[in-house]
Amino acid sequence: MKNDNTQIQKPPSDLPGLLFAGVLMTVLTSLGLWFAWMKLTRGYSPGLAVALWGEAVAYILPPGHVISLGPAKSLAEMDPGLARSLLLAWKILSTVSFVLVGIAVLRLSRGPQPVRHKRGDQLRNDAGPIRKQIRTRYGRPDGIFVHPEIRIPETLEVRSFSLVGSPGSGKTTVLNGMVDQAIQRGDRSLIFDFKGDFTERIPDGKKMILSPWDARAVRWALGSDVSTEVQARLLAECLIPINPRDTQPMWGNASRAILRAELHRLMAERRGTWGFHELGDALLADILCPDSDEVVQNLVKRYNPEASRIVQDLTSKTTLSVLIDQSAALGDTLLLSRFDLELKKAGRPFLPLRSCLSGEMQEKGNTPPVILPVHPDSKTLTSVFVSAVFALSSSIVTHFPDASPSGRRIWFFLDEVPQAGRIPPITDFLVTARSKGCRTVLGFQTPAQVAETYGEKTLEIWDNATSVKIFLQCVSPEAKKYVSQSIGEREILAFKKSDNIGIAPTHTGHTTNWVDEREKLVSPDEAASLLGPGKNGVTGIVQIAGCDPAVLTWSFRNYPKAAEARQLVPLPLRGIATPEAPGRSESERERIPEEEIDRPETRRDTKEPGQRKSPEPASVRVTPLPKAPEASGKEDEESPVGRIAEEAMVEPAHLDPTLTVLKLLAEISAPAPPASGIRAEEQVAANRKDREEEDEEER
C-alpha cells in the first residue's frame, strides 16, 4: 500500500459546532439582557417587570401593537423617560444582532480555512499590527517614520537599516523620507549620492559638497583627519584598495607600505595643513619621479623603516615590479590631486570631517548635510575618494565618547554601497558605532554586489547587524531567493487529504487530517510580482526586529529642482598653460621660473613636500638616517636611474609615471656598460687576454 496524491484541501464545515455556539450565545445574551432589564426596572414588582418586558418588546413591532397594563395604562404613560430609553436600547441591540448574524452567515458560507497559523511571524497587509507590536515591545516611539504610518523609537535607529532592491525599485523614494526627517531634526548627515538626486533637490546654500571634481565642493582637509599611523594605514588601504579575490597580495601590500612612508612624512612636516594636492605633489617628488634612488630609500628608511627592505635595491626586478604596480594603482590619487589643485586655485575652503562629525560646526549654527556625488565618467575615481571619506569618518566616530541615541545623532546614508568602493571598517562600524549615536543606512541591489566587493560572508554579518530591513522589488534569481530567506517562515496546520492505494479494493480510500508544516512568508516569485513601483507608489516589505513583516506602499513625491546635479571642474590638459585666477597668488611651486621647475637645484630652495623639516609630532615615528660618508676626490658617475629621472623632470607637464618606471626597467635590463676609467678598446683587449690565459691553463 502506498500513500499518493497528498494535497491541501478545504475541510468540511462543522455545522453542529456552529449551532451549539449560536445557542450558547443566545442563552448568554438573554441572561445578560434580563439582568440589565431588572436593573432598569428596580422598584417594580416581578409581575409588573414581566409585563413591562412585553411592553418593551412591543416597541420594536409595527405601530399599533401596544400591550396595556390595566385599563388605559401603558409604559409610556407610567414612565415616559424609561420608555424612550428602552426604545433606543432595543434599536441598538437590534442593529448589533443583525450585524452578528450577518458575520456568522458569511463565515458559515465560506467554511473553515484549509491553513491555520500555528506559530511564527505573519505577513501583514497594514501598519496597524506593526504599530501595536512596536509600542508593546519598545514603548512609545520617538524616532523617524520608516513609513508614513510606522514610527520607530530612537533605540532602533542606532541599530542600522538596510534597503534591498533592483534598479528602479524605489530605494530613493524610501530614502527621501528618511533624509528629509534627519535634516529637519538637525542631525549631522553624510550622504553618498549615487544618482545625484539629493544634490539636485537640496539648495546649494543648505548643503556642503565634498568631491574634488565638483566646482562647488569644499576641499577635504586630509591632514586634520589623518592624525595617527593607524589612520594613515586606513587611508592607504583606500587609495590602493585591497582585492579580496587577489591570490598574490604581496604586490599591493608592498605598494601600500611605501605609500604609508609618504603619509607619515606629511603628518610629521605639514601638521594638518595638507590635502590631496599636497599629497600628489609629494608622491611625484619622493616616490614616482624622484631625483635619485636615494630619495625613495631615505624616505622609507626614515618614516616607515620596516618596509626599507622593499626599496633596498631599486635595480632588482621585484622592486621595479612593486613600483610599477604602485604607479598604476596611484593614478586615481594623482587625478584627485589635480582636481584639488583647481579647487585650491578657486579659493575653496578646507573641510575637516572631524569638526563636522563632532558637532563643533553645529555650535556655530545648524550643520548642513555633507553630500558626496559620484564622477559620471570614472567608477574607480569615485570609489577611491568616497571609500576614504567614509573609512576615516568611521575611524573618527569610534573615538567619540559613548552617547545616548538622542544625545548624538549622526547619519551615514550609503545608497548603492558597493559603488562607493571597499570601505575596510564598515562591518565593525555597524556594531561599534551604535553606542556613539550613529545611524547607518546601507542600500544595495543584489548579494552578488556585496560579495564581489567585500567577500562572501559579509552580507550575513550585515544582516545580523541591521534591525530595520526594507525589501523592494528584486529581479535576479539570487536576489529573490535572498529576500524570501530573509523574511523567514512560519509554522502552519494544513488540512490534507491523502489517497491510499492498496492491493485489495477494501484497502483503497483516502484519509484527511491536519498536518504540521513550514511555509515561506514570501516566495521567491512574490519578491518580484508582489513588490515594486505601481500607480499608487512603491510597494515594499518592512521588517523590524521583534515585529511581523508588513507589505506597505510609499507614495510618490515630486521634489522641485533646486540645483544642478553636477558642475564638473574643467581639468586642463597637462602641458597646456592655464591663466591664474584673478586675485589669487601663485603656489610656491608655481613661483619657480618655468625653466627651473622641479630641478634638483631648485627643489632644495622650495617648500614643497620634498623638503625635510623638523620637528615631528609624537604620533609619527621618524628614524634618523645615518650620516653620509665623506665624499671622495672625484664625483661618482651619474646612475641610469638618476639620468632618466632628471630627463623626466625637465618636462613635468608631459610626465607619465608608468612610462618613467618602464624606462627604468629597460635601462636596468640592458647589458652593463664598461667600468668607469677604462676605455672600450682597453676593456676588449683585457677580456681577450683573460680568455687566452684560461685556454692555456686548460691545455
Span 618-623, mean pLDDT? 60
- Looking at the chain, the whole-number percentage of residues with pLDDT higher than 70 is 65
Q: Which candidate, 677, 603, 612, places its Cα nearest to that of 646? A: 603
Answer yes or no: is pLDDT of 313 > 90.
no
**What pLDDT, on a 0 to 100 scale, did the predictor assign at position 694?**
75
Question: For residue range 135-161, what is the model confidence (pLDDT) as tens digits?
Answer: 999 999 999 999 999 999 999 999 999
If pLDDT is split at 50, 70 and 90, which confidence band does 84 have? low
Per mean pLDDT, which range of 326-340, 558-572, 667-681 is the poorest?
A: 667-681
Span 536-559, mean pLDDT? 93
**What pLDDT, on a 0 to 100 scale, did the predictor assign at position 689?**
72
**Which set of grid coordinates corresponds to residue 210?**
565634498
Q: ∠ CA 10-15-18 to the nearest 5 degrees?
A: 110
Better-scored residue on pLDDT, 387 or 605: 387
Better-scored residue on pLDDT, 197 or 244: 197
3-class secondary-structure state, position 143: coil
Answer yes or no: is pLDDT of 195 > 60.
yes
Better-scored residue on pLDDT, 92 or 146: 146
**What pLDDT, on a 0 to 100 scale, did the predictor assign at position 52?**
63
As a whole number of angstroms, the distance between CA 468 and CA 8 comes to 35
Better-scored residue on pLDDT, 329 or 117: 329
If pLDDT is split at 50, 70 and 90, which confidence band does 235 have? very high
Residue 119's contacts (CB-CB under 8 Å, 6 or more residues apart) are 490, 491
Residue 226: CB atoms within 10 A of its CB come to: 25
The DSSP code for 13 is P
**Average pLDDT value over all residues in the chain:** 78
**What pLDDT, on a 0 to 100 scale, did the predictor assign at position 675?**
44
Buried b (16+ CB within 10 A) or exposed e, 374-405: bbeeeeebbbbbbbbbbbbbbbbbeebeeeeb
The DSSP code for 202 is S
Which of the residue ranges 58-67, 401-410, 511-520, 674-683 has the most confident prediction, judged by mean pLDDT?
A: 401-410
Per mean pLDDT, which range of 426-435, 568-577, 643-652 is the poorest?
A: 643-652
Q: Cell match 576614504: residue?
A: 388
If pLDDT is split at 50, 70 and 90, which confidence band does 78 have? low
DSSP letters, 239-285, are HS---TT-S-THHHHHHHHHHHHHHHHHHHHHTT---HHHHHHHHII
If pLDDT is split at 50, 70 and 90, which confidence band does 639 have? low
Answer yes or no: is pLDDT of 393 > 60.
yes
Q: Which candidate, 585, 579, 565, places its Cα nearest to that of 344? A: 585
If pLDDT is split at 50, 70 and 90, which confidence band does 130 have? very high
The model carries a pTM of 0.70
φ, ψ at 599 (rounded to 5°): -75, 150
**What pLDDT, on a 0 to 100 scale, did the predictor assign at position 688?**
73
Span 258-266, mean pLDDT? 95
Residue 210's contacts (CB-CB under 8 Å, 6 or more residues apart) are 217, 218, 220, 351, 370, 371, 372, 389
**What pLDDT, on a 0 to 100 scale, did the predictor assign at position 314?**
85
Question: For residue range 475-492, what is the model confidence (pLDDT) as tens digits?
Answer: 999 999 999 999 999 887
**What pLDDT, on a 0 to 100 scale, did the predictor assign at position 583?**
44
Answer yes or no: is pLDDT of 676 > 50.
no
As a whole number of angstroms, the distance between CA 131 and CA 547 comes to 9
Residue 319: CB atoms within 10 A of its CB come to: 20
**What pLDDT, on a 0 to 100 scale, did the predictor assign at position 217?**
95
Burial degree of 312 (CB within 10 A; 0-12, 13-18, 19+):
exposed
Answer yes or no: is pLDDT of 513 > 90.
no
For strand 550-554 and strand 538-544, is the pairing parallel, antiparallel, or unpaired? antiparallel
Better-scored residue on pLDDT, 668 or 417: 417
Question: Do 621 and 264 meet the contact criterion of CB atoms below 8 Å apart?
Answer: yes
